[in-house]
Amino acid sequence: MSTPHRSVTAKWSRFSYVFVSGYVLFALAFGVLPTLYAVFIAFLDNEGRFTGIANFTKVLADFRFWPAAAHVGLFLLVWLVALMVLVTLLALVVHGIGRRWLSSSLRFVYYIPGALAGASSVVLWLFVLNPTVSPVSAVLHAFGFESFVQTVSPGNLPVVFAVIAFWTGAGNWIIVMYGALNSIPDEVLEAARMDGAGAVRTALHIQLPMLRKWIAYMAVMSLAAGAQLFVEPRVLSQATHAVVPTDWSLNQLTYLYAFKQQDLNGSAAIAVLLLVASLAVSLFFVVRGGLFERD
């Protein structure tokens, strides 16, 4: 005979399937199925005939592909390093503040930029990056930038986009990391203090190791978003009258293949290559971060 506790548990277990069903349906409709369709048409030509890896060899031989891949790779390197180092450091600082009102105020301030949509954020940065009207024009002049075109020259774009992405998304991850820090048992931190560990030693030997999975999770999710860089370079390209190339990122090149060259198969091939590369790098973070290890 089942106990009341077991019946209640079984009831809530059934409800849990209802709660996740919406996400599963949307993930299938807008994630899994489009991905499978892209993989399918990547091996076809415009007439629907199977062509093997012809589309992949075509896009890999395109003179625009490897520069775009290098741009995105450099942007991701700068952005992910900044996220993993600065976000973790800021979360530790905010968590270490003893006054609750100050800690809450800082978290709110960090979150504000994340409330802006991608395009709105870029429009705001059009003014910030223009030395003639920027509120930080002194900083831009110190780096030798006298005009907007100089600031967004192609060589500076990986860092520029990394700064924009960090400004937009770091606040959300600081809040996530702050929550993860709150999940560390007080007994563990108290034992460290009794052993004479200061804030730095506690962070290095207790808090950071216990944040390892969260840092890996942040890296994987940020990689997935950053690899699809499109809005920022496209808006800057329009604002600078193509000083920023229209094929600067891989997603821009995918767009050009699909809607300018009318080559959906080549566009799908680039998307599949980007997916494979992103999964490979994500696997590195998953393994190194022990994301699916049981504590």
Q: What is the pLDDT of residues 279-292, one digit of tens each?
A: 999 999 999 888 87
User: Tens of pLDDT along 38-56?
Assistant: 999 999 998 889 999 999 9
Answer for the pair 226, 132: CB distance below 8 angstroms, yes or no. Answer: no
End-to-end Cα, the chain, rounded Å: 34
- Please report, for the chain, the start and end positions of each structural domain, with discontinuous segments joined by +: 61-289
The whole-model pTM stands at 0.86
From residue 190, alpha-carbon distances to 175, 185, 198, 201, 281 in Å are 23, 9, 11, 13, 37
pLDDT in tens for each of the 295 residues of the chain?
Answer: 445 556 656 666 677 788 888 888 998 999 899 999 999 999 999 888 999 999 999 999 999 999 999 999 999 999 999 999 999 998 888 888 867 767 777 777 777 776 665 567 777 888 899 998 888 899 999 988 998 888 988 889 999 999 988 888 888 898 889 888 888 888 888 888 888 888 888 888 889 988 999 999 999 999 999 999 998 898 888 888 878 889 999 999 999 999 999 999 999 999 999 999 999 999 999 998 888 777 6
Q: How far, in Å, CA of 9 to CA of 14, rounded?
A: 9
Structure-block tokens of residue 99: 């006054």
Answer for the pair 151, 129: CB distance below 8 angstroms, yes or no. Answer: yes
Rg over CA atoms, the chain = 23
Answer for the pair 182, 174: CB distance below 8 angstroms, yes or no. Answer: no
Task: Check if CATH label 1.10.3720.10 holds for domain 61-289.
Answer: yes
pLDDT at residue 8, rounded to an integer: 54
